[in-house]
Each structure stands twice: as structure tokens, then as C-alpha cells.
Amino acid sequence: MAHACATKVKRALLSVSDKTGIIEFATSLVALGVEIVSTGGTRKALAEAGLPVIDISEVTGFPEIMDGRVKTLHPKVHGGLLGIRGNDAHKSAMRIHDISPIDLLVVNLYPFAQTVAKGGDYDEVIENIDIGGPAMIRAAAKNHGDVTVIVDPDDYRDVLAALKERGEVAYDARQKYAAKAYARTAAYDAGVSNWFAKTLDLPDLTWRCFSGKLREVMRYGENPHQWAAFYADGSNRPGVATATQIQGKQLSFNNINDTDAAFELVAEFDPEHAAAVAIIKHANPCGVGQGRTLVEAYQAALKCDPVSAFGGIVALNRPLDEAAAIEIVKLFTEVIIAPGATDDAISIIESKKNLRLLVTDSLPDAKAEGLTVRSVAGGLLVQTRDNQNADDCELKIVTKRAPTEAEMADLLVAAKVAKHVKSNAIVYVKDGATVGIGAGQMSRVDSARIAHKKSKDAAKAAKEKGALTEGSVVASDAFFPFADGLEALVEAGATAVIQPGGSVRDEEVIAAADKAGLAMVFTGMRHFRH
């Protein structure tokens, strides 16, 4: 364990890009008798506030040069941060070279991520890569036995409280601040590295880093015995990480996972074309519907599987309105997420105190590029986001019968939904809405049969005869390896099929389709979602 000296804070170095709370913090430090050293814009702000402050150049004996690129990279700074107070050799070196100790370092970094987010050009982004800041943070954190390092304005209050109480920060607190500091520089460097990788089209870098900032620690994870927390990665993709929670209790781990799945699915449907609603349970759709209004779309989605929809997530591609809110609250729902909500709709939702309402500024761009990350034992699986759908494919009609215009419209809907269903996925669609969904089976035939059975149950609930799948079209997320999968679809009453194709038995499957009078379309694009 590192040495743990009782280090009175007599001298502090403040150099911050985000100046939130820094004047108040520095004022309190001065009142406690702490000498303030500062740099550049921070020094100017402190001086303008009337605070006594020593310019870093007075410490180093060297001016800031190269547009501020070089100002703190100096032995007088780093010696003050790294010198071990109880080490005779270090004390001697500090005495010989006239190095004064720095007991408190407060640094936050150049706004690299913000510069990227606002569309800064290459040269502007490069200039916002901080060098001196991370170097000082790492030095102070290494020497946490003597030095307190603060990288987050949220920690100012606790530091001041400690200093007012005893003139020093406790060792265990310094340890925690050091851990936080290294996490901050690691996340910062990860952002820089990933920007280079994207900008220069270098997907297979030898080292890959991903980072996030803690949003909240949860009661538990996927199950009650698991610890969990939610971190935001700063990408600002519209969704659960950027949404404003209007009301309702804290989101759970599963809520966040399922809400993300729901919003990404509904984003496949252009709100200018039609209102769309997706109802999700355990990251799988229970139903997806379209209509002239959100009410119509919701009713169509609910009809597909009203039993599973209980306690589900509802995602909308248009702002929530009063009429839709009235319909949705009739059934127990965990979360509603939408790109906005009217005041009247919010009033309706408020009648259900535990119902979470999340609103975003917009829908996520289903076509946007990005990376997804999944952990496995000993590593990470990284891939590009699946940002394509049937609209991007060169569709190939492979059967004697071509789909009708109405069938083709439904086939495209089915294919878009199937992309978001756990594999093996089978999705039946009729009149722009799902009427049967089979998800996550080891056999594609079983997925087809399960979807058919559930559609019979849904028809019974709707007081209709037979199965909802009668006269529907169907999508498969991957090819049919055998003709028996197609036979299950015929049994369910499907009239047309869309699938990737690419099986060695494609000809056998096409022949079975022709025999049954089905139209079949190949997309050439698989959408596994394991």
C-alpha cells in the first residue's frame, strides 16, 4: 500500500476547461489560507473575480508558449505533484531545485468530445486534445499518498468540507479521487483513439477502448443478485440515454435494455409515412403496428399479442398525444418512450404514478453508423451497428408468382420487424401490422409454429375465428435451410415470404413455394440477433 501521510493542503493548482463552480471553490480555498496557482483562462477568471492567484509562469520561470500547448509540462510542476513528502531523497531534490509541493490539483480537460459532437474540423479537434492536463492528473493520482486530485466539479463540495473540518483530505478519499482520475483520463484517451479510428477508417486498431460516464447505480441487474449501473457513452444517440424522464419510478436494468430495443425498432418506421408503435417484452416485440394515428397503430400492435404486452415497453415514432395516452394506460405498461409528448398526454400518464414516461428530442437514425460491444469470457466482441434494412436491398423475386403491391408493402414491414426479433426469427404481417411473431428458437420451424399458435390465441382474444396469420405475409431473419420451414408458413396461411436466401437448398425451398402458390422475395441480407 502507498504511504499515507497527513498532508495539509497549503497550495493548489487549478486549471479547468469547465469552469462550473471554480470561482466559488477557489474563493473558499483562499479563505482557508490555501495559495492558488493557475493557468491561462482559469487564472484570468480567478483574477477578474478579485482572488489572489499566481500565474503558472511565475512557478516555472518559463512563459506559456505555442498557443498554450506548453505551459505545465515542467519539473517545477511535475516535481511538485510527484515529490513524496516523506522521502528524504525527494525532499532533497525539491530543496535543491526550488520545487514547492502542490497539495491539491484541480483539472478538467479540453472539450474534445464536445468539439467532435459539434462537428469541428480535423485541425480544431486536434487542438482540443489535452496533453498537459492528463499528464498532471496522472502524476497527482500516482502520488495520492500526498496529493488530492479532483477532475469533477461535483467533488468540490466534499473536498471543501474535509478541508474546513481538518485542513486535509482523508487518505481513503484521496485513493478514490485517484481511481476516478485515472478512469477519467482513460475515458478521454479512449474518445481520442476512437475518433482517430473512425476518421481514418481504422476499424481494426490493435487496442480498442470503450468508455462511459456513470448515470446511475441501480437496485440490481438483470436479476436481484447482480450488481448493475448505467453508463452513458456520450454519443448522444437519441434513446434511453438521452431521454428526459417525465415521471415514474427509477428505470431498472431490464427497463433500459428493453426500452432501447423498443425505440430502435420503432425508428425503422418513418413518422412522415405513418404512425408506428412497437410493444416490447424481454427485448422482443410483442407487436408492431402502423396507422394514420398513434391510437390506430397501438391497437394494431396490441392485437398481435395482448397477453405478452402486459407489463411491456411501448415505443412511438411520433410525439405521444392525449388519445394514445388514454389507450395505453388501459393496460399495465412499464415504460413509454416517444420523441415528445403533449401536455394533455402527460396529464393522462400522471394518473399512473409508476408508469415511466421518457421523451427524446427525436428518433434515432436507423441508418447511422456506429459500433456495438458485447462481452464474452476474456474479451469483447465489437461490430458495426446493423444499420441497414430491406429498403437497402436489391430485392429479387425468385418464385413464379410475384407478390402483389399490398403483399410487397407488408413484406417490407415484416423484414424490418424481423431484424429486431431474436433469432431464429419469424414475423407474420398483415395490413402493415404484425399478426404473429416467433422469436429465439433453436429451430426456425418452431419459431414459425409458435408464431402461428400465438396468432390463434390473439384471434380468440379479438373474438375472431381461425388465426390472424391467415392471408398474411411472413419474414425470416435468415434463410430456410429446408423446405419444412416453408411448409409451416403455408400451414399458418401465409401468401408471400421474404428471406435472405443463400442456402444450398434454395432451389428446393423455391420449388416448395411455387407448389404452394406463394410469392417469395430474396433480400440477400441476413439479420441475426442472437
Q: Which residues pair with 150 in a beta bridge?
A: 106
Q: Convert 96-112 to b/e letters by CB count within 10 Å (16 or more is b).
A: eeebebbbbbbbbbbeb
Using CA atoms, how far residue 481 sits from 87, 401, 420, 507, in Å, is 72, 21, 21, 11
Catalytic residue among 19, 91, 142, 180: 142
Helix (H, G, I), strand (E, B) or coil at 258: helix
282 catalytic per annotation: yes
* Single-letter amino acid code for the residue at 92: S
CA distance 83 to 99: 9
H helices of 267-421, where?
294-304, 322-328, 343-349, 405-418
Kindly give the pairing relationship between strand 35-38 and strand 396-397: unpaired
CA distance 195 to 113: 9
**CA-wise closest residue to 493 among 432, 458, 451:** 451
Catalytic residue among 10, 282, 352, 453: 282
**Is residue 388 exposed (0-12), middle (13-18) or buried (19+ Cβ within 10 Å)?**
middle
**CA-wise closest residue to 315 among 359, 273, 277:** 277
**Segments of 126-236 assigned E as strands:** 148-150, 213-217, 229-232
**CA-wise closest residue to 415 among 369, 366, 478:** 478
Q: Convert 293-320 to b/e letters by CB count within 10 Å (16 or more is b).
A: ebbbbbbbbbbbbbebbeebbbbbbbbb
Q: Which residues are catalytic?
A: 142, 282
